A and B are shown apart, each in its own frame.
Chain A
Amino acid sequence: MEKALEHYRSLPQPKRSEHLWRYSAWRRLHPTGKVEEVPKAVSAKVVLTNLDGSAVDSAIELRPARGEERRRLSATLAEDNVAASFCRALCGDESLLLSIPNSYVGEQPLSLDITASGHISSLYLLFDIGTNAEVELAISIRGEAGWFGLLREGNIGENSKLTEFVHNRLDHTSTLLRCEGIELQRDARLLTATLSSGADKSKSDLRYSLTGMGADLGVFIAVHGQGKRHDDHHIEIEHKVGNNRSQVEMHAACDDNSRSVGTGRLLIAESAQGADAGQVFRNLLLSDKAKADVIPELEVLADDVSANHGAASAPLDPEQVFYLESRGLDKNESRDIIVEGFLMDAFKDFKSPALIDRLRTLLLVHLDCDLI
């Protein structure tokens, strides 16, 4: 604990000029605003079941992580990552490991329910997916904590597939800091979808490292901004070797005075010939005061790659509204269905029938509740 604390305090505090902190200053995200301070935090409650609520297979473990496991699984996030370092210091010696054994093939998705409560809450979650395994996972982040820090690090073993969605449904008064570092080995596949609708201040720093050939990564994010919600997603993908693929699709629908920030950083190493990478950021601006900022960045050192990025921000398309109105839906109904569709469209390449149905239901509940 002391070591993590010392390490955090030894880091230079990030400046607003840095890419990662340009739109969400660390001082404003820090739970007390005094950046040198590491306050006491309550550990979040974590419950692992199958999606239908039944007990998980005995081969799957959720237990405190050992020191060696922490060292092995935390290689993706750099030592100088301030947010991750802060979360490590906050969590101290407490961390959980979700372990999926080699060749495990789940018959139904797992559900990981995270409840954050108290003034300041934290969770350090590691996961280790063995080789040739296939697992689907639904992660729900909820609760009324004033501030919640989630650090997630892990490894997806050779030829394994993890398909997961993360639903940020924290109370609107909460602040969320989410840091992730995930490594994909040879022929591993990660499809990760996020529905971000909770926590009025939310910063996610998501980093993925493709270290094996044939690795396949899909990052799909839907953000719904209302009121004064501020949602900032930074997605950083590093292709360390060649012949692998990554895709980012982020859709943000911003209403009222809300703001969405999407920054993407794609690094293709010189040795990563044959990499195929794409990033698309789309924003739907639903009010004059809503804001959306997008900065995709490419750093390509290899010469035989496919790398592309695109960004677009637009208000509601009046032709879509006219079409829906001509089918009997009034202006509000037309707007609602367009917003729902726009957010769901972020998940069009998220290939999991069971999880996509759940995502759709959760989104509908969220949107319908907001109408009440």
Chain B
Amino acid sequence: MAEELLKIIDLEVSVDGVKILKGLSLRIKSGEVHAIMGRNGSGKSTLAFVLMGHPAYEITKGSVTFRGKPLEELNVFERARAGMFLSFQYPQAIPGVQVGKFLRKSVQAVRGSAAGSAREFRTELNQAMESLGVDRSFLSRYVNDGFSGGEKKRLEILQMLLLHPQLVILDETDSGLDIDALRTVAEGINEAAKTAGCLVITHYQRLLDYVKPDFVHIMLDGKLVKSGGAELALEVERQGYEWIEAEVA
């Protein structure tokens, strides 16, 4: 039986005193792909940030556990080391820090002794870069500094492949990607989804043409108001969100 990775119960979250999430519940098991769709401002990215522990977000009610452990007991880096990974919608630039060094440090921090030798890391890195169509010159560039939108997203997925997370949270990973890049990135996500649970936050249905979700959830005003299978995403693509709003009104 698949392990339950993430359990969110009746979660309420505020930022600067403004309530954004208003009683959200969700369970994700290992190997499952969940997609959350919703309009801008519905709280999707807030969920991603609060799961990873961004200090600006305050949990005012409810609980979140990762593999049975309350997340509030874990610092951000401990969540990463425990197996959580967030692919950022807008990844931060770290000027002066080379991608190659950053990846090595990150892999050592997250995987510890399982990170292997420098030679093993290089082999794994080369394979992952090849699978994503990333050029070797990437490694000497500074992290996300002057990167195009597509390059940033590829670097996020490259990190995901190297860190071997158990729970992957993808925040609008498809935004800013052309169709070829989207396919490549989706292949990376599908690779990770073989062993991890995935929470795909997206605005559009097009990513779900390539990453098949087991569950699709619709978020409106800080709550998951409707859940279904992959067909729900297609329905949203055809009809928008108004019919769901009418349904829950």
Contacts and interface: CB of A to CB of B under 8 A. Distances in A.
B163 interface: yes
Contact of A341 (B81, B97, B110): B97
Interface stretch (B86-94, B127-135, B188-196, B228-236): B86-94
Given A342-B96, A345-B96, A348-B95, A322 B159 contact: no
Interface in B64-94: 75-77, 79-81, 85-86, 88, 91-92, 94
B97 A340 contact: yes
B95 A326 contact: no
Given A325-B75, A325-B77, A340 B105 contact: no
Interface string A321-347: 011111111110110011011111110
A318 B105 contact: no
Contact of A327 (B80, B95, B142): B80
Interface of B: 52-55, 75-77, 79-81, 85-86, 88, 91-92, 94-97, 102, 105-106, 109-110, 142-143, 159, 163
Contact of B80 (A328, A343, A348): A328
Contacts of A341: 94-97, 142-143
A35 B247 CA distance: 85
Contacts of A346: 96
A342 B95 contact: yes
Given A322-B55, A328-B81, A340 B96 contact: yes
B95 A329 contact: no
B94 A324 contact: yes
Contacts of B76: 322, 325-326
Contacts of A317: 92
Interface centre among A326, A341, A343, A345 (most CB of B within 10 A): A326
Nearest to B84: A326
B36 to A, nearest CB: 19
A10 B173 CA distance: 70
B95 A345 contact: yes
A148 B77 CA distance: 45
Contact of B105 (A323, A331, A337, A348): A337
Nearest to B82: A328
Nearest to A339: B96
Contacts of A320: 92, 94
Interface residues of A, number: 26
A323 B106 CA distance: 11
Given A333-B109, A337-B102, A341-B142, A326 B80 contact: yes
Interface string A296-332: 0000000000000000000001111011111111110
A331 B110 CA distance: 14
Contacts of B110: 327-328
Contact of B88 (A323, A328, A337, A344): A323
Contacts, number: 81
Interface of A: 317-320, 322-331, 333-334, 337-338, 340-346, 348
Contact of A328 (B55, B97, B106, B142): B106
A319 B52 CA distance: 13
A326 to B, nearest CB: 5
B142 A345 contact: yes
B96 A329 contact: no
Given A322-B76, A323-B92, 6 more contacts: A322-B54, A323-B91, A327-B110, A328-B110, A333-B105, A334-B77
14 contacts: A323-B92, A325-B75, A325-B76, A326-B76, A327-B106, A330-B75, A331-B77, A333-B77, A333-B109, A341-B143, A343-B96, A345-B95, A346-B96, A348-B142
Given A322-B55, A340-B97, A329 B106 contact: yes
Contacts of A326: 52-53, 76-77, 79-80, 85-86, 88
Nearest to B93: A320
Q: Which 6 A-B pairs have the closest CB atoms?
A: A341-B96, A328-B109, A345-B96, A341-B97, A344-B96, A328-B110
Contacts of A343: 96
A338 B92 CA distance: 12
Nearest to A325: B76
A322 B51 CA distance: 13
A12 B96 CA distance: 44
A322 B79 CA distance: 12
A318 B55 contact: yes
B55 A329 contact: no
Nearest to B140: A353
B138 to A, nearest CB: 16
A323 B54 CA distance: 9
Contacts of A337: 94, 97, 102, 105
Contacts of A340: 96-97
B186 to A, nearest CB: 22
Nearest to B97: A341
A320 B173 CA distance: 19
A343 B86 CA distance: 28
A284 to B, nearest CB: 11
